[in-house]
Amino acid sequence: MENSIIFFDIDGTLIDEDKNVPRTTKEAIFQLKERGHEVAIATGRAPYMYEDLRKELDIHTYVSFNGQLVVVKDEVIYTNPLNKEALHLLTCMAKKHNHPIIYMDEYEMKANVLQHDFITESLNSLKLPVQASLDPNYYKGRDIFQSMLFIEEQEELLYEQTFKDFKFVRWHPLSVDIDPAGGSKAKGIEIVLRHLGYSMDQVYAFGDGLNDIEMLSFTPNSVAMGNAEPLTKKAAKYITKSVNEDGILHGIKMVGLL
Which residues are designated catalytic?
A: 9
> What contacts 199, CB < 8 A, 6 or more positions away?
193
Strands (E), the chain: 5-8, 38-42, 62-64, 69-72, 75-79, 101-104, 109-111, 133-134, 146-149, 166-172, 175-180, 203-207, 221-224, 238-239
- Quote the CA–CA distance of 33 and 41 in Å, as a whole number: 14
Burial of 123 (0-12, 13-18, 19+ CB in 10 A): buried
How far is residue 107 from each of residues 20, 74, 81, 98, 104, measured CA to CA in Å?
24, 15, 14, 26, 8
Q: Report how far residue 208's alpha carbon sits from residue 226's, in angstroms, rounded to the nearest whole number.
A: 8
